Amino acid sequence: MDWISRMNTAITYLEENMTSEIDYAEAAKIAYCSVYHFQRLFVCIAGVSLAEYIRRRRMTLAAVELQGGEKVLDVALKYGYSSPTAFNRAFQSVHGIAPSLVRADGVTLKSFMPISFKITVKGVEEMNFRIEKKGELRIVGVKITTTVEGGQNFRDITAFWEQVLKSGQGQKIAALIGDKAFGENMCGVLGVCVMPGDDNSEFDYYIAAVTDAPVPDGMEECTIQAAQYAIFEAKGALPESVQNLMQKIYSEWLPTSGYEYGGGSDIEVYSDGDITAADYKSEVWIPVIKKG
């Protein structure tokens, strides 16, 4: 419940600052997590990026003021837009009409209310997990740098996997996998989100293998810090099965589990097989610490 309360307090901070500059780092501090984790948690639980939520809320409030007779330029400046053109573009993206038309007869506007986090007991699907501790892991592979802002990471990572698989790099990475040198559960190609600094929404995403082999040309190595992980199995075609599992972890498991997000890197483990098959199995590893 503390976790839910902190997230709701962070939402209160956002709502109280809709007409001023919102500090993502301050919102994350209220929620007791890094900017990276706050934005990642937000999009997985709310189903919309933090930036998109703020934009929708601001345009909802702006529409009310315009209907009340306020001038477009005044409202644009109030909600942080330095030019009428930028405000007009943002307003139309939410409401589908220009801000100058809000008082016309028959106009339909959209209203996005403040979000509130709560625990919902569903009990439809069980979530099997195990807790494991891992020491430092040396991974070798290829990487991109992306950001959780606007959900850009989902688009970038999907495209990155397609590129790596088509280029044949995926097979080269798979060939690096150590012969159980790091344990049964790490013998797969990994997707690794390397946690950034506390006030940074950008992070490196590796497609890699745990190995003690030399680094091939065109690849690089990274050391993943020791951590305790909650490990979940995803079943189904990629990337939907992993994305759906992540949402369930954050919205259903984490708030009631007795664990909190810990320091470390998120890891996905992909076994050999047809990634489009309904019975394809992969794993999601979330770094956690026990509350209290």
pLDDT, one tens digit per residue, over 233-246 is 999 998 888 888 88
CB-facing half-sphere around the CA of 281: CA atoms within 13 A: 4
The SS3 of residue 132 is: strand
**Exposure string over 16-45, b if 16+ CB within 10 A, otherwise e:** eebeeebebeebbbbbbbbbbbbbbbbbbb
Phi, psi values for residue 289, rounded to 5°: -130, 150
Which CATH superfamily, name and number, covers 2-101? Homeodomain-like (1.10.10.60)
pLDDT above 60 (res 195): yes
User: Are 239 and 155 a contacting pair, CB within 8 Å?
Assistant: no
User: Are 75 and 87 a contacting pair, CB within 8 Å?
Assistant: yes
From-to residues of CATH 1.10.10.60 in the chain: 2-101
- pTM equals 0.76
What's the rounded Cα separation, in Å, for the pair 173 and 6? 40
Query: Is there a cis peptide before residue 239, judged by omega within 30 degrees of 0?
Result: yes
Specify the pLDDT at position 273: 84
What's the rounded Cα separation, in Å, for the pair 38 and 57? 18
From-to residues of CATH 3.20.80.10 in the chain: 129-290
Specify the pLDDT at position 187: 65
Average pLDDT over every residue of 185-200: 74
pLDDT level of residue 122 (50, 70, 90 thresholds): low
Count of residues making up the chain: 292
Q: End-to-end alpha-carbon separation of the chain, Å? A: 13
pLDDT above 50 (res 175): yes
CATH topology for 129-290? Multidrug-efflux Transporter 1 Regulator Bmrr; Chain A (3.20.80)
The SS3 of residue 229 is: strand
User: Are 227 and 287 a contacting pair, CB within 8 Å?
Assistant: yes
Cβ partners under 8 Å of residue 146, min gap 6: 152, 153, 156, 157, 202, 203, 205
The residues pairing with 224 across neighbouring beta strands, listed in sequence order, are 137
Specify the pLDDT at position 173: 94
The SS3 of residue 83 is: coil
User: Are 4 and 119 a contacting pair, CB within 8 Å?
Assistant: yes
